[in-house]
Structure 1
């Protein structure tokens, strides 16, 4: 988000999908994200500042909803979401590695011990992964070369209470030609058939 090209791409995605919530990782900007949020019509935001020349997390949301940040770290933001026309629910956005061999093609597989703790946390919280359509990977590097790497860096999980509130959903990877990272779009449909998107 630190250059005009990235901001232009970001704006195009917003125009195409008009999400209520946006989670950004590796923003590489600090509090400047608040100005970017306002520019694209997002009334509020919560940020975790970058450290040095890397990192940075942010959640943006529209005026029609509210999100109260409960906890955060360099790797996550945990928030309580309240909507005027729907149920309240919990949104936790996490930035870090998940699975290993099945979700990566290319050299240098992730060490198994890095994933074990997170996998155990997923099981302990009773979370189930949402199916992704549109492709198997969300990030790539060095396409067309011998060192071409593709990974599934982005996922969505939900517990049984979320499934009851949003029994229908669509999780899609959206491909971009100008970035090595493809965003994912989650469209949960509430039991009263109101569609929310982030």
Structure 2
């Protein structure tokens, strides 16, 4: 994972190797950020973040949740223990391996309400609020067809209100990947500036259903006046 630093154009790196073909965590950062890694294991990387020249310091925890249902309570206990370390503005992002609500799970078999309730309770105790998303509704699909197909929102970003106040325009976008059964989470701390060029106007075919269209076109041409063309 360390070799990807050059491809990403960054110098900072902290990683946890995968076990077999699953798991593994990596945190990369640009040199314009001061990052102090507090703790790491196969389920999380916990770090402090500060931009050079700014006073605000905040905290990020990257997670890979327990894949086994019977062990999932260990992840919720870990989150609660991490919460007690300090009172900084806190962002937690990654694959929690659990959904929050029934509508975040689509398959032939319903998801356990008890599992989801335990996840919701853990976030409430930690004061973490879901940041929402733009894009496709599910972050994981098992790629099976028919009744065997499963789609779930397992990946998300959650944060304390203090972090949300620091990044009031933060947004999360789900970006599908051809190389993974999970989407990528793209988190932006600032609002998009929007297009800097003029909007391109296009002709819409459905306008032709309006009986007043010929008159509108005639008035538009009359408003332009006489147009002179140069001889070719």
Same fold (TM over 0.5): yes
Secondary structure, aligned partner of 2:141 = strand
What is the rounded CA distance, in whole Å, between the counterparts of 2:138 and 2:168 in structure 1?
A: 25
Match of 1:166 in 2: 167
What is the rounded CA distance, in whole Å, between the counterparts of 2:132 and 2:161 in structure 1?
A: 15
| Structure 1 residue 60: Cα displacement | 0.9
TM-score in terms of structure 2 length: 0.61
What SS is found at the alignment partner of 1:54? coil
Structure of larger gyration radius = 2
1:38 is aligned to 2:34: no
Q: Give the 5 Å matches for 1:63-142.
A: 63-86=31-54, 87-96=56-65, 97-99=97-99, 101-142=102-143
Q: CA deviation at 1:66?
A: 2.5
Unmatched segments (≥5 aa) in structure 2: 66-96, 194-232
Which sections of structure 1, spanning at least 5 residues, go unmatched? 1-32
Q: Do the aligned residues in 2 keep the contact of 1:139 with 1:151 (CA within 8 Å)?
A: yes
Equivalent pairs, count: 160
TM-score (norm: length of structure 1):
0.70
Q: Following the alignment from structure 1 to structure 2, what is the Cα–Cα distance between the partners of residues 48 and 68? A: 16
- CA-based RMSD: 2.5
Match of 2:153 in 1: 152
Q: From the two aligned structures, give the one with the greater helix fraction.
A: 2
Contact preservation (8 Å) 2:36, 2:47: yes
Give the 3 Å change call, closer, same or farther, for CA 54–144 of structure 1 in structure 2: closer
Contact (CA 8 Å) 1:48, 1:74: kept in 2 or not?
Answer: yes
